[in-house]
Amino acid sequence: MKYFVALTLLVLVSCTQKYETYHVISKSHFNKDDYEAPVTKKMYPGEKVTKDYCEGQVLFSSNAKKATDRALTDIVRTTCSDDEYLLNSKVTETWWTTIIYSRSCVELETYCPRKMPKR
């Protein structure tokens, strides 16, 4: 009986992961669903930054996916606060789902542009 319950739970749980990469992100114009790479001068990666956010959902109490989409926009806009662009970015979206509970997570790995000395 224990094996049947364990097997049933495995069947009722699913996980999905999605990766997207962006060479340059304009923080003020970022839209992950309609991304257009900005035309910029040559920039070099500096400090690496990783930020993440997760949201849970029981039955239909909220929409965890929409919450993580909003959080991604906020993360992009607040990362590297002195800069307008993010470089070599990777966004990882993860969804866990069971019959009664879902969890949506987003992670941003990016580099701030390196400050070049003035000549």
The number of CA neighbours under 13 Å toward the Cβ of 67 is 15
pTM of the model: 0.79
Percent with pLDDT over 90 in the chain: 45
Q: State the pLDDT at residue 36.
A: 83
Q: State the pLDDT at residue 59.
A: 84
Q: State the pLDDT at residue 7.
A: 59
Query: Is-contact 69 32, C-beta < 8 A?
Result: yes
Would you state the structure tokens that stand for residue 21, as one six-digit string?
């990469």
Residue spans of beta strands (DSSP E) within the chain: 14-26, 45-58, 85-97, 101-113
Task: Give pLDDT < 70 ranges for the chain.
Answer: 2-12, 117-119
Query: Is-contact 71 104, C-beta < 8 A?
Result: no
